A and B are shown apart, each in its own frame.
Chain A
Amino acid sequence: MGSKTYKVTSPVMGTFYRASAPGEKPLVEVGQKVNAAEVVCMIESMKIFTELRADQPGTVKKILVENEEPVMKNQELIEIEIA
């Protein structure tokens, strides 16, 4: 309790990817520190890939969606605890 968190959300209906390409390592893991504007996941919609970035520096607290799962617009994807 007490620590502030924020969530990275999807700008569009699509598919959630944890890595930047198939076979690559996930961009982030739970417990990992991230910088502001660091790419934390990808959304593919209609063959267009969009990189989603951390708003503020912090620590990845929870990954809310499984890799390659469909997501809705504005769905919460990754929870980040603010540093």
Chain B
Amino acid sequence: MTESKFNKILIANRGEIAVRIIRACKEMGIKTVAVFSDADADALQVKYADEAVNIGPALSRKSYLNMDNIIQAATGTKVDAVHPGYGFLSENADFAKACVDNNLVFIGPSAECIAASGNKSAARKTLMALGISIIPGSDDIISSPEEAFEVAMDVGYPVILKASGGGGGRGMRIANDQNELADALAVASGEARAAFGNPDLYLEKYIEKPRHIEIQIIGDHFGNYIHLGERECSIQMRYQKLIEESPSPFVDEALRNKLGETAIQVARLIGYTNAGTMEFLVDKNKNFYFMEVNARIQVEHPVTELVTGLDIVQQQILLAQGEKLPLRQDEIRLNGWSLECRINAADPADNFMPSPGEIQKLILPNGPGVRVDTHIYNHYVISPFYDSLIGKLVVWAKDRDMAIKRMQRALSEFQIEGIKSTIPFHQRVFQDEDFIRGDIDTHFLEKFADLR
């Protein structure tokens, strides 16, 4: 790979991450091209980018998922590279390949690597062969109920069914015995087919009281890798993360080193380049199991940025230009504590029902140690066509207690009128004694389900 500096980048995304990427480019002196749908003509990415191209109607599959229109926008504006952000086409191997076929650098891992990361049953087989600890379960997709019963007997109940084709909680079902498993197989398979066009399921032992802990890695095109520590992402609602932090109150230096080494081992195995995340489940005895690769920048990347001082999006761009990693592992220090709240347009008092509409009043928090990544502004209309994430409130302080106090303060300053948001919900979590002690697992939010 030869090194060549980018003059212009197209951002194949919308919302806060499009704005985030434009900011990174501006600071590097790189020109930007935004894309937008008919629903997003007034979006901030359009105002901030040097150029903007309409790529189609509001529905995602006709615009932000429309590869032909995006590639045409990129070649038409003569960009050097395409940054896919997260979601949409970011983990679509065909899109990564289409970029390369049109002489555009795809800012992310190779198409082959994305394909390898996305196929969970193939990934499991490879990892098991290499002795990387994964959750015990079926070696491959489940081909019959009898096979499912046999594997479940082997690993012990409770078990969880997962869709081979994707995540986000769809196609997932927990079963405590054979009768429940029989029912769960039919339901989960139907959900998986509807959500991902692929009914294939695999079965795993269900780990109780697990923590979701992930490792940010970056790798160059010369086989060098470093990890940037962990992110604790156990605060989830229906498998969607709501609060993230770095470091994790549960991870000590020894566990961090082991997780980091394993993450890099997986990255090396699949020839991963650019920024990526390896997700693990960690049980209460600090046993950890590799779950999956997220082959993209993640929503929660800012908490890692605030404790490492590295701009991960800028690193992605430098690595895609063919540059070498700027740091060795022993130069990475985690400094202080960072917490992030995802602000969604959803009503916590009504089962998180989506709440699109016009922002009638907006006061953003600021002050020491506060970062807000958002694309909303006063009188902006949040359309119902896209994800409900409208911003990320991120704080940094020198330790976890101070970071929690800072988040409480920042949440109290944050005012959005005209729509419902998750701010009141975050305020409750940040008063919860277990949360403040760091005593959390992926079931933490279940106790909030009844409290409205």
Contacts and interface: CB of A to CB of B under 8 A. Distances in A.
Contacts of B387: 46-47
Interface string B340-369: 000001100000011111000000000000
Contacts of A46: 345-346, 354, 356, 384-388
Nearest to B194: A21
Contacts of A70: 58, 384
Interface stretch (A12-20, A30-38, A58-66, A75-83): A12-20
Contacts of B384: 12-15, 44-46, 70
Contacts of B353: 11-12, 48
Contacts of A14: 354, 356, 384
B59 interface: yes
A48 B58 CA distance: 16
A69 to B, nearest CB: 11
Interface string B212-236: 0000000000000000000000000
Contact of A12 (B58, B59, B356, B385): B356
A14 B355 CA distance: 10
B386 A45 contact: no
Bin chain A's interface residue count: 10 to 19
Nearest to B62: A68
- Name, among B58, B354, B385, the residue most crowded by chain A CB atoms within 10 Å (CB to CB): B354
A48 B318 CA distance: 36
Contact of A15 (B346, B385, B388): B385
Contacts of A12: 353-356, 384
B141 to A, nearest CB: 21
A14 B353 CA distance: 12
Interface in B193-212: 194
A48 B356 CA distance: 12
A13 B384 CA distance: 6
Given A21-B194, A48-B388, A70-B384, 11 more contacts: A12-B355, A13-B356, A13-B357, A14-B356, A14-B384, A15-B384, A20-B194, A45-B356, A46-B356, A47-B387, A68-B59
Which 9 A-B pairs rank lowest in CB-CB distance, beginning with the nearest?
A46-B354, A46-B388, A45-B354, A45-B384, A14-B384, A13-B384, A21-B194, A13-B356, A48-B354
Interface of B: 58-59, 194, 345-346, 353-357, 384-388
19 contacts: A11-B353, A12-B353, A12-B356, A13-B356, A14-B354, A14-B356, A14-B384, A15-B59, A15-B384, A21-B194, A45-B356, A45-B384, A46-B345, A46-B346, A46-B384, A46-B387, A46-B388, A47-B386, A48-B354
